[in-house]
Structure 1
Amino acid sequence: MIRPRIATTLVAVLLALFFVFPTVVVIASSFGKGRIVEFPPRGLTWDWYAEIFTDRVWTGAFANSMVVGILAAAMAMAVGTVLAIAASRTRILPPMLVTGAAMIPVIVPGVVLSIGVYVIAVRVGLTGSVVGLAIAHAAIGVPFVFINVLARLAALDRQIEEAAQVCGAGQVTTLRTVTIPIVLPSVVIGGALAFISSWDEFMVALFMNSPTFRTIPVVVWGEVLSGAEPSTSAASAVVTLVSIVILGLAVGLPRTTERKRPQ
């Protein structure tokens, strides 16, 4: 009879393989020498990676995705932090109302959100632009920042802020010199997650694209529809690698901060 611990470990390993295997297939197929996606690949080559880093369509899409992701993450960090502080430190608006507003992008179905963003973008002339898509992706990324910062504020000892105010610091000074530095790692982690969500977001980007402005997921989708080449697998592998690196940095930041903090 299988012991519970062994059974649990076996199930965990099988689930991990189930979720990781598609990524392994994509990465492996990106090295194939054939003109179509094959697994296992027949022969190995780096040519498809050379293509996506030299072809104008791919390089332009990578540049668009990177710029949009950085702008979206920056805006999400600012808005998400403000909303988290408003929900936990002020009473101008009910905390539940602020929380609901911050979490709307998670609650609303993706198709509905995409159509709404597209209609607004058409009216203000922001379709097919970096700024328009960055604003839309920032809205999607706000919940990641909001949840992380709100959790850190909830765990923060209020006596630290009260001590600063007793020493003569006003609310703005306390916020700038005490609260924000403490929650900054959470802000950065939320921003990293917001970047990742923008980096590989497809549905809103599909509605907001134009013949001269497309992001990586949209280009990959178009290539798949017209007959997938290993270059699409190479682009997908790069997207995955960037996401893993960003996620690794986000996870490692709190530990680094704790180690540097004086005991």
Structure 2
Amino acid sequence: MLLNIPAIDTTVMFGALAFSVDLPYHLFHSNTQGQCGVCDNDQSNDCRSPNGMVRSSCSQTAHEWQVDDHNNTYCQEPPPPPPTNCTADICQIITSSVFEECHSVVPPDPYLQACVFDVCHMPEHSVGCSSLETYAQVCAQAAVCVDWRPHTNGTCEYECPEDKVYRPCGSSDPPTCDARHSVAQCQGQSSDLDPRCQFQEGCFCLDGTTLLSSDSDSCVSSCENITTTTPQTITTPTKCTCQYKGLTITPGG
């Protein structure tokens, strides 16, 4: 899922286990803290505590930015260091031939270290999937597609509903039945200029079907079937939209 916020030139990308936030330097220079680090293009000061002290590892400072929420107990201080005999086999995929094409574009070592730390600190080794997913997302942003999930022996499976199929490198802006949607809008367009033109893994409509609209999760076999001369109102408990001649109009649109 890709969320664009034009007002602040920001892109938020949600994956199966992780998410990323892409902030523009000209608006957020030295204006971020915590898990986002300090937006000054200097990685040496990103692992900063709330008191301003810079640590050697972000794992030492992450819990210091935790917001107390008694309704959620999943954020706890990190456990003791892992035993020296800890093995993290799933993490080795990052430095294997699976990601080889991306190694020269995005150095894998930071992602490998994060993966080993997570796997060795958590009882469930599938937590390593988030590190692999994050590295694959960064590779995709650099126009390198990596189909890594089949190499995890089922540990990091991505399940899709029956009317959709998993694709490791689908379009972040898939075509829809909306008449205002241009299928060719990403042709020849650099992902650096338009984040909608990046690779994105996820569940996509089966071949021969099309996403009804950018606001819908339904796939249809023919867009002609939903084109009418009379407006159709689709109501849900949280919102309503109006579809007219292939256009999807949201409230206030």
TM range (shorter): under 0.3
Structure with bigger strand share is 2
Normalization by structure 2: what TM-score? 0.26
Relative contact order: is structure 1 or structure 2 higher (C-alpha 8 Å, sep ≥ 6)? 1
Q: TM-score, normalised by structure 1?
A: 0.25
Greater per-residue helix proportion: 1
Larger radius of gyration: 1
